[in-house]
Each structure stands twice: as C-alpha cells, then as structure tokens.
Amino acid sequence: MSENINLTLKIWRQKGPNDKGHLETHEARDISTDMSFLEMLDVVNEQLTVEGKDPVSFDHDCREGICGMCGTVINGLAHGPERGTTLCQLHMRHFKDGDTIVIEPWRARPFRIIKDLVVDRSSFDEIIQAGGYVSVNTGQAPEANSIPVPPEWAELAMDAAACIGCGACVAACPNASAMLFVGAKISQLALLPQGKPEAAKRALSMLRKMDELDFGNCSNETECEAVCPKEISITNIARFNREFLVASFGSSEK
C-alpha cells in the first residue's frame, strides 16, 4: 500500500563540462511510495523552481524503461538497487523513510558531463556507426521467409538486441569498459544469418572504434551484467571475444 516518506538527497550538481561539480543536499518531503524515482526528482524540481533555484537536470524520456535515456548511479549502483530495472521504473517503495540517497551521473572518460546528471553518450552512436548494422539498402531485401532462422538463434539474438543503450554497463564497470554494449550488438548480428557476411569486418571495426574512444578494458568483473536493466548476459561478451578471434586469425580482414 502506498505511504509517504521523507528523504535526504545528495545530488551531483555541475554547471557544465568544465565546472568542477559537487554534491548538493536536497530534502524530498512527502514522497508517495507509488512514485517512480524520476517522479520523485520531478517533485524536488518543482520545489526548486518555485523557490527560484536551478532545478536538477537529468535525462529521461519514455519513462517506461525502453528508450535508454535515463540513468544515474544511486547509492553506488547504476539504475539503483533493483535488478533488471531502469531508473524510471524504479519505484520509491524500495526506499525507507529517512533514507539518504546519493545520486551521481554516469562516470567514464568518454561520457563527458553536460550538466548535473546529464552525460554525453554519443560515443555509443559512433560505435554503431563503425559496423553495428547489416549493409542492406531499402528495397534490396529478399522475401522475408527466404531467410529461415532457427528460433533458438532468434531468441538469443533477441536477448542481445534488447539492449537499450543506456550506458549503465559502462557506468558500473570498474574499468568503464563498453564490452557489454558492443558485445550485445555484435552477438545479435553474429547469431543471425543476415549478419554473417560482414561479421569479421564488424567485429574488428567496432572493437577498434571502442578502443579509440577511450573506454576501459574488460576484466570480466561482470558488474555490467548485474546492473543491465535488460539483464543482458556476459555470454555476449564471450561471443564478441570469439568473433574477434575468428576475425583476426581466421579471416582476411585486417
């Protein structure tokens, strides 16, 4: 049943990329436990606005856990304490009256802070540009059922394709590595016959782009899998490793 709680928030405030930034304390009063975390922040922002202060900037859009726009680190955990949940789907019933909540932005070298909790994730787009697609122009496609896909592969591909590109994997990785994000895309396309012709080129090129963007190196800490709101498995990273090995040593791609 719903009840109202009071919380102390310590929120990262930073005016712009070059500002140093600091944790600022805000009180959140009379928060219904039915609210989502972002609705709780809305309430805080309404209060700040009425007081003539600068509201907290945070990214969000669909608020149903699929666009991948939202995400902050809550008390040291990306997207907060609930497994398989984006921040917008995290509800306040998971917090207790009197709790102190520390809210910090995703932190990684490629994720420059724009303002407060808002970070730049354009590096993810750049990685996809490096090969996260099947090269097929509109109109070139053959009849859909001429490409049968065993349902087991389709399911595994779908597991990987469920990635929402939120960046929690990078944020949670002790090394700020993007291997789960890249591994998921590589896996999706490697599992499907449509992705096969370009598999080798894709694996090499996406990995190079990822390295070039200064993400860290994977050391199999598996924190990414633990925080992923879509619970994408690290078997996708293993598949990426495999694809990379095959591409490097077994194909003519350089």
Partner 1 sequence: MQLDARIPGGPLAEKWDRHRFELKLVNPANKRKFEIIVVGTGLAGASASATLAELGYNVKTFCLQDSPRRAHSIAAQGGINAAKNYPGDGDSIWRLFYDTIKGGDFRAREANVYRLAQISNNIIDQCVAQGVPFAREYGGLLANRSFGGAQVERTFYARGQTGQQLLLGAYSALMRQVAAGKVKVYPRREMMDLVLVDGSARGIVVRNLITGEMESHAAHAVILATGGYGNAYFLSTMAMSSNVSAIWRAHKKGAYFSHPSFVQIHPTCIPVHGTYQSKLTLMSESLRNDGRVWVPDRAGDKRSPNDIPESERDYLLERKYPSFGNLVPRDVASRSAKEVCDQGKGIGPTGFAIYLDFKDAIERDGIDVIRKKYGNLFQMYERITGEDPYKTPMMIYPAIHYTMGGLWVDYNLMSTIPGLFVLGEANFSDHGSNRLGASALMQGLSDGYFVIPYTIGGYLAGTVLPEVDEAHPSFEDSIKLMNEGIAKLLSIKGSRTVDDFHRELGHILWEYGGMSRNESGMLKAKELILGLREQFWENVMVSGSPGEFNQTLERAGRVADFLEFAELLIEDGMSREESCGCHFNEAFQTEDHEALRNDDSCCYVAAWEFNGPGKAPTLHKEPLVFENVELAQRSYK
Partner 2 sequence: MNWLINTLGSSIGKKLLMAITGLGFIGFLAVHLIGNLTLYGGQDLFTSYVEHLHALGPLIILAELGLLSFAIIHIVIGTLLFYENLMARPVRYRVKKNAGGRTIGSATQPYTGFIILAFLILHLLNFHFAEHTNKSLYQLISSAFANPLYVGVYVIAMIVVAIHVSHGFWSLFQTLGANHPKYMPLIQKLGIAVSLMFGIGFGFVPIFISFIA
Out of 20, 50, 98, 250, the residue judged to bind partner 1 by CB under 8 A: 50
Nearer to partner 1, 31 or 172 (CB): 31
Residue 157 in contact with partner 1, rule: CB under 8 A: yes
Nearer to partner 2, 116 or 223 (CB): 223
The rounded distance, in Å, linking the Cα atoms of 76 and 144 is 46
- By CB under 8 A, the residues from 163 to 182 that bind partner 1 are 164-165
Label the pairing between strands 77-78 and 73-74: antiparallel
Residue 112 in contact with partner 1, rule: CB under 8 A: no
- Supply the DSSP symbol for 5: E
Do 125 and 133 form a contact (C-beta atoms < 8 A)? Answer: no
Partner touching 154 among partner 2, partner 1, none, CB below 5 to 8 Å by kind: partner 1
Q: Which residue has the tokens 């090269």?
A: 135
Helix (H, G, I), strand (E, B) or coil at 9: strand
Least spacing, CB of residue 34 vs partner 2, in Å: 25
Do 152 and 198 form a contact (C-beta atoms < 8 A)? Answer: no
Least spacing, CB of residue 211 vs partner 2, in Å: 5
Q: Which residue has the tokens 């959140």?
A: 28
Least spacing, CB of residue 25 vs partner 1, in Å: 19
One character per residue 206-225, x = contact with partner 1 (rule: CB under 8 A): --------------------
Out of 78, 108, 130, 172, the residue judged to bind partner 1 by CB under 8 A: 130
Q: Please classify residue 124 by burial: count the beta carbons closer than 10 Å to its beta carbon, then call 0-12 exposed, 13-18 middle and 19+ buried.
A: buried
Conformational region of residue 131, where left means phi above 0, alpha means psi within -120 to 50, and beta covers everything else: left
Out of 27, 96, 109, 158, the residue judged to bind partner 1 by CB under 8 A: 158
Partner touching 234 among partner 2, partner 1, none, CB below 5 to 8 Å by kind: partner 2
Amino acid in the structure at residue 254: K
